[in-house]
Structure formats: C-alpha cells, structure tokens
Structure 1
C-alpha cells in the first residue's frame, strides 16, 4: 500500500512532498500516526488521509498560500476561539505574568490537549512573508474595502497600491517583512526624493506611495499577528505638503465669458458638452453625473432635481456623497437635452474626463496649466461661499461631511433650490460680467 509505513507495530501515513508542490508546501515529507496496529484499518485511514492532503495541496495552489501560512492562520483562529490572542512562545517573556499563568492554566484544564497547546502556547512562528507575498495576502484582507466598487473603481483603488509595492521592491528588494528596517524605509524616502528632483514630481506622489506601502504592511501584520513595529518604521516619513493635488477654481468671469459658450464645443459630441455644463452648474463630480440612471433624473416635479445614490457595485468617494441636487440654469438645460442621462458615457468617467480635458486644453479653454476639469467643483464651492450659504446647505449640495451634530432632516429641496438660484451661472451669463 502506497503512503503507509509501519514503525514499532503501529502504522503511519507517510508521503514525500511532490516536487511540483514544494513551492507551496516546503516540508520534505508528511508522517502522521494512524493510531492503529491493524493493517486493513490503516489502509482505509491512509486512503482517506491522502485524499485530505491532496485536497489541501490543491487549495494551496489555487489560493497561492503556503503551508506555513495556512497552519499559522489556523492557530491564530483557534487561539481566538479559545479566548486568547495568538502569541508565539518566544514572546511569552514580554507578556504580563498573569496572562502567562492564564494560558498554562487553560491547557492544564484541557489536559494538555494538543490542539489547545499549539494554539494557546504559540507553537508556530509567524510566517516568513516577503513583500510581494504580503501584497497577495493584502488583497484578501482588504476585501471589505472594495465590496461596493465598480470594476473601474476597483481598478483605480488597486493600481496605486500595486504600483507603490512595486516601487518599494525596486528600491529595497523583495525582503521578508520581519527583516524590513527603519533604514529600508528611509532608503525608500531618499529614493523618492531623488525622483522628485530629477523628474520634477509632486511630493504628494511620494506621500501616496508611503501611505499605500504602510497600509499593506500594517494590514498584513495585524491580520497575521506578525507584531511589526509599524509606528517606528514609518514615523516622520511623509514629506511636507506642497500645492500638488490642489486645483485652482475657475473665476466667474472666465466661466461665463470664455468657457461656457456653446460654440466652443462644436467639435465635441453633445453629451460630452452637456456633461461639462451640468458639472459647472451643480458641482457634482463627473463620476457622479455619469452614474445617473433615468430614474435618478426628475424633470417633471415642482423642483427639478437629480438624485445621486449609492448602489451595489458602485461606491461613492465618501459616505456623505449621496444627495439630491436641484437643477437650475445650464444643468436644467443639460438634463432636458439628456433626460435619460449621459448614456454614451455611463460609468466611464475616466474616458470622458480625458476626452474633455484634452479638448479644453488644446483650445486654450483652461486659464492656466494648473486648471483641470475638476476645478469646476472648486468653483461651485466658492460661489456658495460668496453668497454666504449656510455650512449645512453647502455640505448637502457638495456632498461633504457636515462637521457638526446633525439635527432634523436638513434643508429641503425647495430651500436648496433657493441657494442654487443664487449661484447659477446661466443667470449671470444672461447679464454678462463686463
């Protein structure tokens, strides 16, 4: 019988790890007591054990995990089930004496049952994860963050983290997490400083990389109980902020006398043009406008409005973005022209944003190189501030967090409409700024 051996009149399952599996299970062999001296019984038990092991190997291959990681995670979960956090025995000296006594009292009470001893007394050392392996683990641990993201949103969430880890590995090498030092982190910082100077990059680009690398390492360390000193590794790492990432608003005069002229858009399709006009008048982001479905657009009501909603498969930038915005001026014109929404670009903000950005830049319709399409949102907020709109109204229209305790239902559509009329662009255009 294959995988069966006899030692001192007792039978054991014995199998060498196949070469093609050694990448995932680095042990040389598996030997497990079958706890019987009967050959027929041992043969049946060995067959069942072999099926279990092959299924386990298949799972390792499918998930990309390694045997040591799987065993360790099982012990972490088991320790939690028994009422303890998992701590490897080499760290017991740093635990409070009362906790050490409590752990030994527990296993004694359980008559030193092997499953309890392994978990409560910390048999397995934390797995030796390299940086690229940590990223694979991170995707699994961070699943809750992407549940409601569309494929496009997921791509935009995942790619910067992938890029940050690739940069980190290119700089310090694909080291084991436990061997990453403060010097490695500072080396990464210096690497970024060199790029900033050489390539004229914004400091914010480096800070985003630092944020993502820290998040990946911290998330994996926390979930796998690796005990890495994250605070020490990343203390005072971030570069002083500069103006990168902040976009100047359009001045009112530029919007009404220069940008928002229909003749400027004769070479752009109508839905793209109306998206610009709607963005200008409502301050709603392009991703929000392009997610609208026909049932979100209400034109035949006392107060015409659009309803920005959170839907399964899509996530708003923050939990405060879903809202109702009354339609006035150019925005009302836009949705009367596109009553079903911007169907040609549904959920394609990157595609349309790039298209419009290039179009406006080529025709000198941006006041400066620093202006971008998103500057329209900043302009909308400035107009609300200029007319002294209450903070609660601004938050409800822009979709920002209201930083004080909320009482009541907030401003009604009619009340929001009053403020929208005060900041509408079309009314200004009908009485041009000289």
Structure 2
C-alpha cells in the first residue's frame, strides 16, 4: 500500500515535470528527473541512464522490462518505461544552479555560524559565481572548458594590471568558485574533471602580458576582414586601443560627451564620469588618429553594450584565440596597450608626454601644462596604423 502511494506520487511528479519541461521550466525538469528516480526505486531498481541500461546483463535487462506495468489498455505505461529504461534525461547543472545546490551540499561548513558569520561566508561565494557568469556565461558545468577558465583568469589579470584589484583578491575569488563547483561535482557524483590548476596569481607579482609586434598588428589584426566575426562594438574598442593605448574599460565607458570628433583635433577625454578612474593621473585627453579615429567615427555615442559591464576582454580574447590572431598564447587584448607604449619609446617620445598620454604617474615634479593637443596629435600620428 505504501509502495503504491509512493508510485502514485512519483507519477504525479513526473506528469508535472513533463508539462513543466514543455514550458521550459528547468526547475520542474529537475523534479521530473527526481520523480523518475523515485519511481524506479519503488519498483526495486536504481535509476540508470539508457546508456548504462544498455550495458546490463540480459537477465537484469529482462527483469526491468518485466517490471514495467501496463496502463488500463494493457499497453506499457510510458512513465514506468521511462523510469526503468532510463530515458528521462538528467537536467544539466548550470553554474548558478550549482550555487543553489552548494548551500545544501556544504551545510556542514555552516554549523555553529552566527547570522553575520553565515552572511560573510556566503557573500564571497555569491560574488565569485556572479563574476564567472557575467564574464563567461551561465554555462552547464559539463560544458565549461579550459579556455573558459583561461578567459576568466585573463579577466582578472586585466583588472590586476589596471590596479583595480590585487592578486590576493583574484586568488580568493578563484578559490571560492573552485570550492562551489568541485563540491557540487563531487557530492552529485557528476564525474566531471574541472581543473583550476595553474590559474592562481603570485601575490604581488602579476605577470604583464607581452605587446603585439608592429608587424603582427599591421599584417594580422588589421588585415582586411580579420575582425569581421567580432561584434562591431568589441571590434571598435579594439581598434581604438591600437592608436590610443587606452585601457579597454576606459574606452568601453566613454560617453558621447567624452568623444570629441568635431574638435580641430579629434580626441577622447578619459574622465571620471559615473565611475572612478584608476588614479588621478588616468584623467587625460588622447588624440585620435588612423584606425582609431575611423573606429570612433563609427561609434560617436560610445559602446553601450560594454559600458559598465563585464565580458569585453573575454569576448575579444576568445575571438582572437579561435581565429589565430594571438601572436603567442600569452598575448591578450591588453597587449595592445603595451604595444602603443613600445611604439612611443621606439620613437623617442619624451617621458612626460608618454606618461601623460598613457595615464601614468611621472616620477618627478610636473611643471607647466605639458604638450598641446596639436603637438600630441603629431606624435601619435607618426606612430599610428
């Protein structure tokens, strides 16, 4: 009698789950899968996916087939058949869903914690998952690749190089993400090999990405149609970087007021409008020349797709890597900034002017107003593509 009640409950859950699946309700799809497991258990079997059922000894397979009950017409009940033959697909666990599961799976870590301690324990894990989802996407854990992890690391490296965060903050975030995902993989017996090896940063020693060579920029990155597969705003930001050396985030957050194309010397103004700059030295004006001027003319209102949003570096780096446009595996979008500085050095640009254009501190007292915009334009024009 108890078994029959359990069976009826499992059937009802399966019906609700299937209806929910048709409606695209992921949560109910998970309930459907659990109902299939429960129904198999009621019939005295462990739920196995169809691939495993097919590998069972003939005797065991026949036992499962014989246990499938019929409906009122005498036909095999499809719900029973699905449960015992393993045709109910287990829903994939996304990164955000993994966090929901983690709270329950790791509950022993919260024993004895006060409300405030629990909040402080949960918040960095929420933040780590949110960062990953914003940069890489809310992928199924089984679909996360080594390239995804490297892209996420590069996003942190961009922030470290821009002095937005320290290596310690990045390492803590990676540790919390690893804890969440690996706990779910282990406790749910998913059998997924997800490696975090080699992703951490040396404390106080963020490795600087190498600059692109002039030949590579000219012959590869700026080759006709080379960037056609990249979305237009990401492509525009990359091209603006080429001859300005501005940080990707600085370009992405430009407003229409900061893009001054009608000036006698077209330029962009890096200023703290709605956001903090890296430092007081980051506030500056940069003339637009060559491909950077052309790109900015194509986007006079800026780049709203990436304004105050993550994901730019990951998108560009993935495109460059997949299309053979990274000079070495160590190169990334940020290397264009270093390339611009190297070209200034090779051209013998005065240290004061170079640092003013780059937004760096000058290691001596600043006197006067520095180079005029016209003078800066002539310097940048000479080293532009």
TM, length-normalised to structure 2? 0.50
Who is 1:327 aligned against?
A: 288
- Are 1:261 and 2:223 counterparts? yes
SS in 1 for 2:294: helix
- Are 1:294 and 2:256 counterparts? yes
State the alpha-carbon separation in 2 of the partners of residues 165 and 292 from structure 1. Answer: 28
Task: Indicate the structure whose relative CO is greater, using CA pairs within 8 Å and at least 6 residues apart.
Answer: 2
Who is 2:326 aligned against?
A: 366
Q: Work out whether residues 212 and 335 of structure 2, in 8 Å CA contact, stay in contact via their aligned partners in 1.
A: yes
Who is 2:172 aligned against?
A: 164
State the alpha-carbon separation in 2 of the partners of residues 368 and 287 from structure 1. Answer: 23
Who is 1:246 aligned against?
A: 208
CA offset at residue 269 of structure 1? 2.0
CA offset at residue 274 of structure 1? 1.5
- Are 1:346 and 2:342 counterparts? no
State the alpha-carbon separation in 2 of the partners of residues 355 and 164 from structure 1. Answer: 23
Who is 2:348 aligned against?
A: 388
State the alpha-carbon separation in 2 of the partners of residues 166 and 418 from structure 1. Answer: 44
Structure 1: 5+ residue runs without aligned partners? Answer: 1-129, 140-151, 171-197, 209-240, 426-434
State the alpha-carbon separation in 2 of the partners of residues 158 and 164 from structure 1. Answer: 10
Who is 1:415 aligned against?
A: 375
Who is 1:304 aligned against?
A: 266
State the alpha-carbon separation in 1 of the partners of residues 198 and 223 from structure 2. Answer: 35
Q: Work out whether residues 167 and 203 of structure 2, in 8 Å CA contact, stay in contact via their aligned partners in 1.
A: no
Q: Structure 1, residues 174-197: CA drift from partner, whole Å, max 9, x if none?
A: xxxxxxxxxxxxxxxxxxxxxxxx
Root-mean-square deviation (CA, aligned residues, Å) is: 3.5
CA separation of 1:360 and 1:167: change in aligned 2, threshold 3 A? closer
State the alpha-carbon separation in 2 of the partners of residues 295 and 395 from structure 1. Answer: 24
CA separation of 1:386 and 1:164: change in aligned 2, threshold 3 A? same
Count of aligned pairs: 216
CA offset at residue 415 of structure 1? 1.2
SS in 2 for 1:345: coil
CA offset at residue 283 of structure 1? 0.5
TM, length-normalised to structure 1? 0.45
Structure 2: 5+ residue runs without aligned partners? Answer: 1-113, 124-154, 179-195
Highest Rg: 1 or 2? 1
Q: Structure 1, residues 102-155: CA drift from partner, whole Å, max 9, x if none?
A: xxxxxxxxxxxxxxxxxxxxxxxxxxxx9x96x96xx9xxxxxxxxxxxx99xx
State the alpha-carbon separation in 2 of the partners of residues 257 and 270 from structure 1. Answer: 20
